[in-house]
Amino acid sequence: MTADADQADLWAYRSAYETPADFDAFWRDTLDSAAVHPLDLRLTPVGTRLLTVDVFDVTFNGFGGHPVRGWLRVPRHRSGPLPAVVQFHGYASGRGHPLDDLLWPSAGYAHLLMDTRGQGGAWAGGDTPDPVGSGASYPGFMTRGITAKETYFYRRVFTDAVRAVEAVRAVDLVDPALVSVVGASQGGGIALAAAGLVPDLRAVHLQAPLLCDIRRAIRSTTDGPYVEISGYLATHRGAVENVFETLAYFDGIAFAQRATAPAWFSTGLMDQVCPPSTAFAAYHAYAGRKEIRAWEFNGHEAGGSLDLEIALDAFHSALSAAP
């Protein structure tokens, strides 16, 4: 267990993060700019040997009208509109293979897995380029465009996530009133942003979310994506306040304060990538009904499949047709 992870301290901990005064205006303008571009949703059936799941190659227009890819997987034997789960994947990964990630459609949900632009060179391949360049950055994605909120990488990613929710709601076989978002690590951070930007989601599941209580996280960990920011600041010594001014517009705490859908959080108390205090900071700030599970002897995997079991049980009632 890390020094960050004393459970009594975690329940008492509240972040010192402060939301910028123009946070809501910034995101309203960002999403309005994206809405100018037609969604242009395209679904192409993918042939597989699966007997119980149909797979579609998905493309829709995200930030700047840039095409974003994904997979839509749905139970083959279905009747009537389906509840939907939009999933965002972990850092540096991509949407992977059509046969990956069959949990949610196997449980009866329409499942949209969104590619993260520019990523997909790590453990699962991706197919969505990021056509926007950036200034100097540390290797990875965390510092791309970090000198201004308008150019920061995650402005585009979070906008893509909102458009992914719009995309799944535009699918004929989906009930647009029964949509949830899920993710682990980076995917959890993206899902939390979507929950704060989309007001009428039905449920949220967040495993060890990245991009929460960012200033503390950078100073509390020596592993994972946050190291890219500390590495950047080690050579750009005069940029510290400018960088944290930018990151304030992308901190999960601000999105948590604006999210109202029922949410299930998890964290591993030995997590060296996303310190458990940062997950608790977002949990404490979350405005909707919420639960959190802290796994005492787990790291960044948090509860793994047991977290997913909890989510399946919770979503069964949260995504029912009843209001």
CB 272 within 8 A of CB 2: yes
> CB 77: neighbour CB atoms within 10 A?
9
CB 142 within 8 A of CB 225: yes
Candidate list 66, 111, 284, 300, residue with the active-site label:
300
Region of residue 256 (left: phi > 0; alpha: psi -120 to 50; beta: else) = alpha
Q: How far apart are CA 32 and CA 184, in angstroms?
A: 28
Candidate list 130, 271, 277, 284, residue with the active-site label:
271
Reduced to 3 states (helix: H, G, I; strand: E, B; else coil), residue 86 is strand
Which pair of structure tokens corresponds to residue 286?
């979350």
Catalytic: 185?
yes
Fill in the DSSP letter of residue 65. Answer: G
Helix/strand/coil (H/E/C) assignment for every residue in 187-203: HHHHHHHHHHHCCCCCE
Q: Which residue has the tokens 């893509």?
A: 160
Candidate list 15, 185, 220, 266, residue with the active-site label:
185
Catalytic: 317?
no
CB 288 within 8 A of CB 173: no
Catalytic: 300?
yes
Binding annotation: 91
Binding annotation for substrate: 91
Residues acting as catalytic residues: 185, 271, 300
